[in-house]
Amino acid sequence: MSHPNLYILAADNPSAVLSALQSDSSQASCQDEHGYSLLHAAASYGHIDLLRALVQEHHVNPNLTDEDGETCLFVSETLEIAKCLVEELGVDPKHANDEGLTAQETIESDGSFPEIVSYLGQITGGSTSEVAQALRDVHAPPPLPPNVSVNVGTMTEQEVDGEAGEVDSEFRRRIAELAAREDFHSEAGQNQLRALVTDAIRGVGAETQNRDVRQRTE
C-alpha cells in the first residue's frame, strides 16, 4: 500500500499527517526534489500544532532549508507562526538564503505581511527602511552614459517639431516598443535604451552637420 502524500495532507488535514507520522516517524524530516519539507508546508498553511510536533516530538531540524536555502520562516504568513518558529522552535531569524537575503528582507521585498517584517526587524535589529532601500539599490537601473539625460514630460508634436525638426517615425516606434517591454528597467533594457539614444544623437548630429554644409555652399 502506498504512503499518502503528506505534503498535500498538510494543506488542510494536519491531523492526518500527525497520524501518519505516528506510524512512520522517518517521514517527518523528508523533503521533495525541491527541498520542500513538512516544516515548510506547516508554516505556510499556518498549522502551528503540526510545527510543534515536527520539531519537539519528531526532532526535525527547525532550520531545514529548501533548494533556495530558505527555512520555513521564509514562507510564514502569520505573526503567530513566525513567533512560534523563532521563540519556541529555534529557527534562526538571521539565516540568509542563497541570494544573501534573510526572511525579513525576502518577505518585505514581496510587499506582504508587514507585521512579520516588523517583528523580525525587532528581533534581528534590522531596520525595515534600510532593508527596503538596499533592495531598491539592488534593482535600480544602471545610469545613462555621460552627457545623456532623459526628461519625462509632455510636449505637443508642434513643440517637438519646432525644437528639433520632424521626429523620425521609426525612432518613435522603437522607443514605444522598448518602453512597453517588461524588461525595460532591467540592465538589458536600459542598455538598449542607451544604444537607441546614442544612435539618435549621432543621427541628429550628422543631420545638423549636413544642413550647415548646405547652407554654406548655397
What pLDDT, in 10s, does the model give residues 24-51?
A: 999 999 999 999 999 999 999 999 999 9
Domain membership flag for residue 92: yes
Q: State phi, psi for 14 to the nearest 5 degrees.
A: -65, -30
Which of 76, 99, 122 is the C-terminal boundary of a domain?
99
Q: Into how many domains does the chain fold? A: 2
Residue 13: pLDDT band by 50, 70, 90 thresholds? Answer: very high
Share of the chain above pLDDT 70, in %: 68
Residue 197: pLDDT band by 50, 70, 90 thresholds? Answer: confident
Q: Taking all residues of the chain, what is their mean pLDDT, rounded to a whole number? A: 79
Same domain membership, residue 161 and residue 92: no
- 147 sits in the region (left: phi over 0; alpha: psi -120 to 50; else beta) called left
| 60: nearest Cα among 84, 83, 80, 31 | 31
Domain membership flag for residue 48: yes
| Residue 138 scores a pLDDT above 60 | no
In the numeric block, the cell 516598443 is attached to 177
Domain membership flag for residue 198: yes
Spatial separation of the C-alpha atoms in residues 102 and 115, rounded to whole Å: 16
Which of 99, 124, 139 is the C-terminal boundary of a domain?
99
> What is the domain range of residue 168?
157-217
CA torsion angle 114 119 123 129 (round to 10)? 30
What pTM does this model have?
0.58
pLDDT, average across residues 153-159: 50
| Residue 84 scores a pLDDT above 80 | yes
Q: Domain with 21 in it: what CATH number? A: 1.25.40.20
| Residue 106 scores a pLDDT above 60 | yes
Residue 183: pLDDT band by 50, 70, 90 thresholds? Answer: confident
Which of 55, 75, 99 is the C-terminal boundary of a domain?
99
